[in-house]
Structure 1
Amino acid sequence: MTDFSEQDLSGSGFQQVDLSGSTFRRADMTDLDIREVNFSGTRVRAAYFDGVRMTGVEVPDMEISGEIVRLVVNGVDVVPLVEAELNRQMPERALMAPTTVDGFREAFAITDRLWGETMGRARELETDQLYEQVDDEWSFIETLRHLGFAHACWIGGVVLAQRSPWHPLDLPWDEAPEFEDVPWARRARPELHEVMALRRQRRNTVAEVLDGLTDAGLDRSVTSATQFMTDATGLTVADCLRVVLNEEWQHRLYAERDLAKLAS
């Protein structure tokens, strides 16, 4: 097996080569020209697709999960259809893009209620199962730890402009850049009650922010106080709250899916 690390292979040609089982991490794959290749069994995670065109492809079985703005399949933009179906399956989802303070309060109350139901199912499992990764994704505990990190980033570090909003149990996403002051204890095994205590603290902080906020205040521009969140420039308080709300919604769905597999 050949290892290519920190090398410039741009412009290279690969013809009649076997790359099966290869791994690509933090690779620049823009403007690739890919023809007559076999992607069967390929796993793509945390990737960015913009302006990608696929023609003459055969897709017997493919699953996509992520933030999709426009996806045209055989001339039809399927995103509005998917959005309508998701909202039909879970009517509460339509309330996850609020524009008023009261709307945010209602949306967070919904996610809290749904997470409460999810936690009830999680408590029926053994502790080791809560640390078990399903399909190489985060475990249930890791999912909760990442939600804590999202709150720290967008509420503590941006909305409240705290320079060090982190808790040792916060868990960044796997591909996040490493900074000295950002926690990175991936092997930590906290008890469920410890993670839940941190979660309650973070949710109380959001409640306090909303209690002191007006609808006009939602449009206030924010700038990150941490070096980690440099991409927050130009966003508003409402933008940051929506990011956290989306994390709450999406990760509960992931947790429900994984809990179902663990319980089966």
Structure 2
Amino acid sequence: MTDSREDPHVEDVSVRRATFTRLRVRDVRVRAADLSGVRVRGAELADVEISGELRNVVVNGVDIAPLVEAELNRRMPERARMRPDDPEGFREAWAILDRLWAGTLARAATFPEAALHRGVDGEWSFVQTLRHLNFASAAWVGRMIVGDPSPWHPLDLPWDEAPGWDGVPWDRAARPPLAEVLAVRRDRRAMVGRVVASLTPELLASHVTRDEPGWPRLAGFPLKECLHIVLHEEWEHRLYAERDLNALEKED
């Protein structure tokens, strides 16, 4: 018996220790998925695009994760600078991001503001991306490092699959003026810049604890990892923003 369904919407489903035989999955979009431990045998993978964090991804006996990392770093040499280990490395990484984002913002300024509120292929709009980066800086630096238990601005935007927390703003449908979002972003980037400028080896090796209600709520978390998360968010979301600006340019 063959059960064929077109355009179903499947959400919040957990499948564990299952076996699928003669499964046909075509023209499907998978978002925010945990595919850890998946084993695929005898499959045909053609015209497949995967974007995500890769660890121990073995294809035909080859772990492709290190190969992908090496190729991405070859294409974008500055990408390798986003996992620094010492204070000067963090200062260099932050300066790189400042320069790259300045170019992206200058490019975005050439678009009508309405276009910057338009998502591409179900993704966040350019303005929503900036709002999310404001949230990430507030969470991992403002709360975890600086110690403000509630560092939020009403326009901050958590990730779409976040569970939600009391007191943390989350208005995905808001359409604030770009200038207002950029003003918050300048403040948040200045806050991160001050932390990065003040880094010492001792501070970088320290751990932080925030046990107040809200998010993140972590004990003994490495301060270095808080900053790594912010660098990763800034790097990846700029690439997403450039990708979507490319698509918007073609639409117009």
Asked if these proteins are the same fold (TM beyond 0.5), I'd say: yes
Q: Deviation string for 1:9-42 (max 9, x for gaps)?
A: xxxxxx6323432222222122222121111011
Cα distance in 1 for residues equivalent to 2:207 and 2:30: 34
- Residue segments in structure 1 that go unaligned for 5+ positions in a row: 1-14
Residue 70 of structure 1: how far off its partner (Å): 1.8
1:24-62 C-alpha deviation (Å, 9 max, x unpaired)? 222212222212111101111111121111011101111
Q: Tell me the CA shift for residue 253 of structure 1.
A: 0.3
The alpha-carbon deviation at position 226 of structure 1 amounts to 4.3
Q: CA deviation at 1:120?
A: 1.0
Tell me, which stretches of 5 or more residues in structure 2 are unaligned? none
Q: Given the alignment, which residue of 127, 143, 146 partners 1:141?
A: 127
Shift in Å, 1:158: 1.1
Question: Do the aligned residues in 2 keep the contact of 1:131 with 1:142 (CA within 8 Å)?
Answer: yes
Task: Say whether residues 1:80 and 2:66 are aligned partners.
Answer: yes
8 Å CA contact 1:157–1:226 kept in 2: the answer is no
Q: Distance in 2 between matches of 1:203 and 1:141?
A: 16
Mapped pair 1:222 → 2:208:
yes
Match of 2:171 in 1: 185
Alignment of structure 1 residues 182-261 onto 2, 5 Å: 182-230=168-216, 232-261=218-247
TM-score, structure 1 normalization: 0.91
> Offset of 1:159 from its aligned partner?
1.3
Partner of 1:176: 162
- How big is the shift at 1:64? 0.7
The one of 235, 248, 252 equivalent to 1:262 is: 248
- Deviation digits for residues 154-189 of structure 1, max 9, x if unmatched? 111211222111110100111101222010111211
The alignment partner of 1:168 has SS state of coil
Distance 1:228 1:46, change over 3 A: farther
TM-score by length of 2: 0.95
- CA-atom RMSD in angstroms: 1.4
Task: State the AA in 2 paired with 1:186.
Answer: R
How far apart are the structure 2 equivalents of 1:121 and 1:169?
23
| Map of 1:111 onto structure 2 | 97
Q: Distance in 1 between matches of 2:177 and 2:23?
A: 46
Cα distance in 2, alignment partners of residues 226 and 256 from structure 1: 36
Structure 2 CA distance for partners of 1:230 and 1:191, relative to 1, 3 Å: closer
**Any idea what the Cα deviations from partners look like across 1:55-76, whole Å, max 9, x if unmatched?**
1110111111111122111001
Shift of 1:101: 1.1
Alignment of 1:13-162 (within 5 A): 16-162=2-148
Q: Percent identity?
A: 49
Deviation at 1:234, TM superposition (A): 3.6
Q: Distance in 2 between matches of 1:35 and 1:233?
A: 43
Q: Which residue of 2 aligns with 1:3?
A: none
Distance 1:172 1:218 in 2: 26
Question: Quick check: 2:211–2:219 contact (8 Å CA) kept in 1?
Answer: no
Contact kept, 8 Å, 1:150 with 1:247, in 2: the verdict is: yes
The worse-fitting range, judged by mean Cα deviation, of 26-35 and 81-90 is 26-35
For 2:111 and 2:158, locate their aligned partners in 1 and report how far apart those are by CA, in whole Å: 25
Task: Kindly state the Cα deviation for residue 231 of structure 1 after the two structures are TM-superposed.
Answer: 5.8
Equivalent residues of 1:158, 1:225 under 8 A apart: no
Determine if contact 1:145/1:195 at 8 Å carries over to the other structure. yes
Number of aligned residue pairs:
250
Q: Is the 8 A contact 1:152 1:166 kept in 2?
A: yes
